[in-house]
Amino acid sequence: MIPHHPKPGTSTTHSTQAVTSPPRPSRVVPKPIPPQQTLDTRTYQINQLKRRYPSHKETSLPGGTGTSLSFNLVPSDPDFPFDLPQLECDLHIPSKYPKSPAKLHVKNSDIPRGFAINIEKGWDKLVEERKGGGGTLLSLVNGLDKRLEGFLSEEKAETVKLTIFKDTRHLDRQRVEEEEEEEEEEVSKTEPVVVTPVRRAYIPLETFTQAQIADAKARRAQEVRQLEARMGRLQHYHRSSDGIIYTLPLDPKKRAELPGELKGVMSVQLVVPLLYPLQNLRVLLNDVEGGKEGEELAEGLEELFNRKAGELVKKEGSEQGEKMGLVAMVNWLAQRIHLLVREVVREREKRRKEGEEGRGKVKEVEVREAEHAASVERVGQVDRGHLHVIPRPPEWGFGDDGTESSSYDSEDEDDEGGAELGKDGEEMGGSSLPTRTIEKGTAILFPSIELQGIELLQVSVLSLNVKCDRCKTLNEVTGLKNNLDKASSCKKCATAFTVRYRQELVHMNSTRAGFIDATGCTVADLLPSTFVPTCGKCSHPSFGLVSVRGETTTNICRECHARFAFKIPDVKFLDYAPGMHTRLPPTSGPRRKTEKLGLHAGEPLPEKGSCQHYKKSYRWFRFSCCSKVYPCDKCHDAAEEHINEWANRMICGWCSREQNYSVESCAFCGRSVIGKRGSGYWEGGKGTRDKRLMRRGDKRKYRRVGGGETRKD
């Protein structure tokens, strides 16, 4: 054996080097595959799903073409933004799987069909992506779980609903013709009758301008959207495929006073024409009993309501007319249906008497009634000569809430009634929205509030910082709800104080969130509170969101999946005196000048916000004592005569954006606002690289450039 001698000038020490070339294919060990999967891939993967979802349901497809496996997929993402407890999956696995791909069907009834189609298409995409990689059914289901949020966030797929209507008009026409022929035969047997043709009066079709049609369509869309938002979740609600007929629940105010034929009415059909309000509304009663007599009574009631609804719409154009929506119409019908029935009965009785007694007796009765009314009026004028009776305008009979207060007000108004608008009794017993509040106390205002996609904003739970009137110590008061007193005491002097909050709604025309009644303390600042926004697209209230001044809160509506956001840049508290206007600052005397900094967002501050006291502080502070901006506390004390207080706002020296105080970095550009001193060491190139500033303990401080190379003589 020849011994190995190293070459001159080389070291005998062996060093381990990393392998940079890829390994040979022959040395790559494949992932082990279970024998059962190799023998029967379809059965093995189905058993995997069964073990993963024990509460599954397995059925055979018709004709033995495959297997249907139903299971519930619960989203594993803890921050899943949609209100979806579980996804009901029906997986159809063909008998030729894996040659033929498996198909997924979504069975959730609470998911619109368009979004379900997006999920099913997403499953097909996953199958197509993993077709070459040999993914199992369980891996596909796990991939669907991870990407479920993305599939639901896509635009809703367009769907078409086919509805079959059976046309029976020809049968009704044939039955009517047979009845007319039978009547003609009976009349011809008794005596011949000469029938003269009756000419029908020509009624021209009403025409409208393009502007009128556009306004009518816009108003109809708005009122239909409100109707669906208010009644869309009720039991008897149904909408036709063409969006014209709406089946709505009806709870009459005085059901006991209705005739027996109408006591069982639980819902009505509201026919909203496409050109409403240019075309009149119509209503049809459901569940009418009593046979032909009940139908005649219902028809008379429907005609009377249609006539009154048309009169109300025509009066809206007058100066004193008030606009009534579809919900107000339904409420008015529910509260006055017993009075409308009485009017229909009186008209029927009047027509019957006219036919029996003749017009002479009817006129005599009318004359007597007129004489009696005139005598009563004369007696009233004698007794109350100093009073002048002013007739009530007819359009005053309908308020904003859809109730009438005209001649029907003789009935008891304290009884409960109206359309059932909520299962929780929000519209039946009392609304959860705040009513008109008395202007006294301390008003909370959001002057520069930004609402995007939000119709209404309500502060459901308010948290405040209050200042004790005795020792001026700040105390926190949390959990303030509408019209509920909260008593507490000062943490320093133990002086008792009480705070009460009265809510108001914030919208595009009002920035006032309510009034605060404080006893023994003064409102100082707003703490993180709970806000309830109402979606501007579907008018559906969202769940409570916690926000505070200066933050932008963004979320998605759980009803229509529309994105909305709101931001409260600043909060103001104004004192109101009872019976007086807002106590504003006096107009006379010197006013504080508005500070003009001349900053532009995105551009750095002068000297990047540093000053002579702190060279590595890249920000300015807005001090709460005077609301002025200074680079540091020493600059503030040099320019002002009062003692500085803690600054809770700052302006970044890199982007000039004002924000809440942050310790290290800007919330917008992310750059550090404090200059960190280096460690003095190399730290792999991330630390100090200047040899003059390096510590003596770092070996790179004295290493000359190219020192690792072998010197050549």
pLDDT in tens, 354-394: 776 665 565 666 666 676 666 545 544 444 444 445 554 44
Question: What's the confidence (pLDDT) of residue 372?
Answer: 60
Strand partners, 510: 507
Question: 85, 129 in Cβ contact below 8 A?
Answer: no
Question: 301, 290 in Cβ contact below 8 A?
Answer: no
Question: What's the confidence (pLDDT) of residue 589?
Answer: 44
Pairing mode of beta strands 529-535, 545-547: antiparallel
User: Does the pLDDT at position 579 exceed 60?
Assistant: no
pLDDT tens column, 150-181:
888 888 887 776 666 555 655 666 676 777 77
Alpha-helical regions (H) of 358-411: 359-383
User: Does the pLDDT at position 517 exceed 80?
Assistant: yes
Question: What's the confidence (pLDDT) of residue 500?
Answer: 92
Question: What's the confidence (pLDDT) of residue 312?
Answer: 73
- Contacts of residue 502, Cβ cutoff 8 Å, sequence gap at least 6: 434, 437, 438, 441, 482, 483, 514, 515, 516, 517
Confidence of residue 713 (pLDDT cuts 50, 70, 90): very low
Write out the two tokens for 295: 């139908």
Question: What's the confidence (pLDDT) of residue 165?
Answer: 58
Distance CA 318, CA 320 (A): 6
Distance CA 473, CA 500 (A): 19
Distance CA 560, CA 538 (A): 7
Confidence of residue 297 (pLDDT cuts 50, 70, 90): confident
Question: What's the confidence (pLDDT) of residue 565?
Answer: 92
Cα 513 → chain centroid: 19
Q: pTM score, two decimals?
A: 0.29
Instruction: Report the sign of the C-alpha dihedral through residues 208, 214, 217, 223, in that order.
Output: negative
| Residue at token pair 């532009």 | 600
User: Does the pLDDT at position 403 exceed 70?
Assistant: no
- Contacts of residue 610, Cβ cutoff 8 Å, sequence gap at least 6: 616, 617, 618, 631, 653
Write out the two tokens for 170: 């020809």
Q: With H, G, I as helix, E, B as strand and everything else as coil, classify residue 544.
A: coil
User: Does the pLDDT at position 668 exceed 70?
Assistant: yes
Question: What's the confidence (pLDDT) of residue 630?
Answer: 92
- Contacts of residue 663, Cβ cutoff 8 Å, sequence gap at least 6: 674
Q: With H, G, I as helix, E, B as strand and everything else as coil, classify residue 110.
A: coil
Question: 515, 525 in Cβ contact below 8 A?
Answer: no
Provide the 8-state DSSP code for 506.
B
Amino acid at site 633: D
pLDDT tens column, 619-628:
999 988 888 8
Amino acid at site 14: H
Query: Which one is predicted more confidently, 508 or 201?
Result: 508
Burial 205-222, CB ≥16 within 10 A → b, else e: eeeeeeeeeeebeeebee
User: Does the pLDDT at position 74 exceed 80?
Assistant: yes
Query: Which one is predicted more confidently, 605 or 597?
Result: 605
Question: 306, 281 in Cβ contact below 8 A?
Answer: yes
Half-sphere exposure in the Cβ direction for 20 (13 Å, CA): 1
Residue 470 has a CB neighbour count (10 Å cut-off) of 14
Burial class (CB in 10 A: 0-12, 13-18, 19+), 299: middle
Confidence of residue 705 (pLDDT cuts 50, 70, 90): low
User: Does the pLDDT at position 663 exceed 50?
Assistant: yes
Q: 359-383 and 326-357 are packed helices; what angle lies between their axes, rounded to 10 degrees?
A: 120
